[in-house]
Chain A
């Protein structure tokens, strides 16, 4: 699937289109829980009706069926909204899929605050935390459509349990699909810099890149920007290097600031090369209904907050030297 640089496309759309495309030469089964039109598994369902099963509004059972299919040798993709996959079906994922290390890919869409108007019950801000504490689970939070498509292909071609997080909101493509290859477990340096590092996951690359330009232009601060699609296993080397070379880190994620990538980076930094780590994310509160742009501003998932946190991290870095 070609996604053009700069085009605005939601990662769920890339997921659905790629799933249907991969169906041609990859033998896998797709499950959904009455959200196929929204998760975009509908494209696969239409192309391969004999390999698609709608489990109805019963996410725990869907994950259990996925486990049984996988135990019988199938590669399985199971989709719902992040809230009902990682949330409602957490224990089924933990006990029926991950504990026996079965070949099930939990592909969760509508993650984070960018669900928008549906509000707090549907805005899952806890899934990265829930999924990364499960042993043996690979957790991927793609940035744009190109990365989402590549991560999905990698997961389907790799044995074991995966959690992949997709968004509802259309975001600009920043990777060139002609040259891009997904590197599992590796962060990607988008902008080189020496003064501070900002690590973004999922859709946060956009406010982070904008913040980095502002910091350079207005404050002459050289920001290293890293895109981190794989939340687990974590790229500890790129984090340690950033800590050593820039001495201050800010992590930005569309997730509760507790338990997600910010926590994972802080855990890594404290054990490898201690330096200030600040987090941009939803500050341990529930979301609410609204259009996406005002929601992002209301919860501080914007360039302004990234700039603020970078400046705070740099102040602490300076203070610690003194």
Chain B
């Protein structure tokens, strides 16, 4: 990746992280940990990979994105705001009663949100449906979905993957955000859906494993996914929950709690230092 592109993607990722912090701090609730872990991939998807048009959010030919782990909504909203779908300042209305920015993504009211999600295991099915629609209609848009590692404990995820492989949906790219933590603790201690590579491969997917915070690896993975024909691709993204904020990293408690004022100031300072 050339250095100008890398600088831009890192900048957008930092801005997305600031937007996440602004949102959950203002809401005094929400899910910062799993939002931070996908920030770099969100930056790459919306600023390097996907065809979208903020001036025409419902553009028929756009690539689709489904945040199956809908609780990472702060990351999606911050990304869409940076892309120009709505003002960045509105992120502080997250979870407020008169805001469009619902606690989980709402396609009916939020420009740029392609699918309503939040109940885990369901978004991936919808993403498969979108990829199928493109095949039925002979359209060339691609569909991207991010599934949580904890989310993959839902059986519906594997039902959806089975269907996608059976129908050769090579226009579908699924990212597993493997940060290793869920609300009740490390996923390894709960029911441990990992390791993913063998499972995804035997379900008929082309599988790529990357460091979710390395833009060169992210770029190579999405390029490879686009080149693979005849089967869908899954990217196992080894990520750090809370990535970018020292006291949030790899801490279960930051799955679903918001920073207080002092923590917010410290977190913002740490992210701004990366800008």
Q: Which applies to chain B's interface (DSSP): helix, strand, loop or mixed?
A: helix
Of listed A60, A61, A96, A100, residue having the most chain B CB within 10 A: A61
B56 within 8 A of A: no
Of listed A50, A56, A63, A65, residue having the most chain B CB within 10 A: A65
Least distance between A213 CB and chain B CB atoms (Å): 49
Task: Select which of B122, B129, B160 is within 8 A of A72 by beta carbon.
Answer: B129
Task: Select which of A53, A55, A58, A71 is within 8 A of B114 by beta carbon.
Answer: A71
Q: Roughly how many angstroms separate A29 CA and B171 CA in the complex, as a whole number?
A: 19
Q: A residues within 8 A CB of B268?
A: none
B64 within 8 A of A: yes
Task: Select which of A58, A74, A96, A100 is within 8 A of B163 by beta carbon.
Answer: A58
Q: Roughly how many angstroms separate A67 CA and B160 CA in the complex, as a whole number?
A: 13
**Smallest Cβ-Cβ distance to B129: which chain A residue:** A68
| Contact mask for chain B residues 91-131; partner A; CB cutoff 8 A; 1 contact, 0 none | 00000000000000011100000111011011111111111
B133 within 8 A of A: yes
| Contact mask for chain B residues 158-173; partner A; CB cutoff 8 A; 1 contact, 0 none | 0110110001000000
**Smallest Cβ-Cβ distance to A100: which chain B residue:** B116
Q: A residues within 8 A CB of B108?
A: 100-101
| Contact mask for chain B residues 124-159; partner A; CB cutoff 8 A; 1 contact, 0 none | 111111111110110000000000000000001001
- Given the known interface contacts A60-B156, A72-B64, A100-B108, the answer about A65 and B128 at a Cβ–Cβ threshold of 8 Å is yes
Q: Is the CB of A74 within 8 A of B116?
A: no
Q: Roughly how many angstroms separate A55 CA and B129 CA in the complex, as a whole number?
A: 11
Q: Which applies to chain A's interface (DSSP): helix, strand, loop or mixed?
A: helix
B60 within 8 A of A: yes
Q: A residues within 8 A CB of B159?
A: 55-56, 58, 60-61
Considering the complex, which residues of chain A in the window 54-79 have a beta carbon less than 8 Å from any beta carbon of chain B? Answer: 55-56, 58, 60-61, 63-74
A11 within 8 A of B: no
Task: Select which of B118, B121, B133 is within 8 A of A73 by beta carbon.
Answer: B133
Q: Is the CB of A53 within 8 A of B132?
A: yes
Q: Is the CB of A95 within 8 A of B115?
A: no
Q: Is the CB of B134 within 8 A of A56?
A: no
Q: Is the CB of A53 within 8 A of B60?
A: no
Q: Is the CB of A64 within 8 A of B125?
A: yes
Task: Select which of A50, A55, A66 is within 8 A of B136 by beta carbon.
Answer: A50
- Given the known interface contacts A56-B162, A92-B122, A96-B122, the answer about A68 and B127 at a Cβ–Cβ threshold of 8 Å is yes
Q: A residues within 8 A CB of B130?
A: 68-69, 71-72
Q: Is the CB of A65 within 8 A of B160?
A: yes
Q: A residues within 8 A CB of B123?
A: 64
Q: B residues within 8 A CB of A70?
A: 129
Least distance between B161 CB and chain A CB atoms (Å): 9
Q: Is the CB of B107 within 8 A of A64?
A: no
Q: A residues within 8 A CB of B114?
A: 71
Task: Select which of B66, B119, B128, B163 is within 8 A of A56 by beta carbon.
Answer: B163
Task: Select which of A53, A66, A72 is within 8 A of B167 by beta carbon.
Answer: A53
Least distance between A74 CB and chain B CB atoms (Å): 5
Q: Roughly how many angstroms separate A71 CA and B122 CA in the complex, as a whole number?
A: 13
A99 within 8 A of B: yes
Q: Is the CB of B126 within 8 A of A65?
A: yes
A51 within 8 A of B: yes
Q: Is the CB of A60 within 8 A of B129?
A: no
Of listed A56, A61, A68, residue having the most chain B CB within 10 A: A68
Task: Select which of B116, B128, B133, B162 is within 8 A of A95 by beta carbon.
Answer: B116
Q: A residues within 8 A CB of B126?
A: 64-65, 67-68, 71, 96
Q: Is the CB of B156 within 8 A of A74?
A: no
Q: A residues within 8 A CB of B131?
A: 68
Q: Is the CB of B118 within 8 A of A95?
A: yes
Q: Is the CB of B156 within 8 A of A61?
A: yes
Q: B residues within 8 A CB of A50?
A: 136
Q: Is the CB of A67 within 8 A of B136?
A: no
Q: Roughly how many angstroms separate A100 CA and B131 CA in the complex, as a whole number?
A: 19
Q: B residues within 8 A CB of A60?
A: 121-122, 125, 156, 159
Q: Roughly how many angstroms separate A116 CA and B131 CA in the complex, as a whole number?
A: 39
Q: Roughly how many angstroms separate A190 CA and B234 CA in the complex, as a whole number?
A: 58
A91 within 8 A of B: yes
Which 3 pairs across A and B sit closest by C-beta, in order of nearness?
A68-B129, A64-B125, A72-B133
Q: What are 26 A-B pairs with beta-carbon distances under 8 A? A: A29-B136, A50-B136, A55-B159, A55-B163, A58-B162, A64-B124, A64-B156, A64-B160, A67-B115, A67-B122, A68-B128, A68-B129, A68-B131, A69-B130, A69-B136, A71-B115, A71-B126, A71-B129, A72-B129, A72-B130, A95-B116, A95-B118, A96-B116, A96-B119, A96-B126, A100-B108
